[in-house]
Amino acid sequence: MDIRIEKTSISDVIIVIPEVFGDERGFFMEVFRKDQFEKHNLPTEFVQDNHSRSVKNVLRGLHFQWKPGMGKLMRVTYGSAFLVAVDIRKHSPTLGKWFGVEVSAENKKQVWAPAGFARGFCVLSHYAEIQYKCTGVYNSECESGIRWNDPDIAIDWPVRDPILSDKDKNAQDLSAWLRTSESDVFKY
């Protein structure tokens, strides 16, 4: 089995497409296989798996963590969602740039974004389940977010009036993050 890799407009954000074998009974695919990820220079050390379920129009994010830095491999296992990654690395040539793609249980795509990216999603179907493998263990003292509608980033979300948590409603703009000493953690 082999995975396919699709490049995106931000070189460090990768779409991973597993080989899927299906017939009238259903399908089989390998979501993660160390040798295949090594072959494509993707991370192989994941330390935490997360699973969330949200209803239509919920927008979660844009979240990130700096200690330890946390890369995420995200996929949708039920329904569909628009997955987004924003480069928040202070000295990166793509600082403030975003990439977004519709991912669904049907297309089985996965999105990899390393530490130094804020990630989020909005649910497009009646509900969706999103699973993600993380390269760092969650640390509530070293995590934050960027406002989902920061005008300097200008993400073209497919949802106009999203359902947000209080935390996401009150997230900082990218410019505020860049003024913190923690923002020096992410090296390009």
Tell me which residues are annotated as active site: 63, 132
Residue 176, class by beta-carbon neighbours within 10 Å (0-12 exposed, 13-18 middle, 19+ buried)? middle
- The Cα 37–Cα 44 span in angstroms is 6
- The Cα 104–Cα 24 span in angstroms is 20
DSSP state of 173: P
Q: What are phi and psi of 183, to 5 degrees?
A: -65, -15
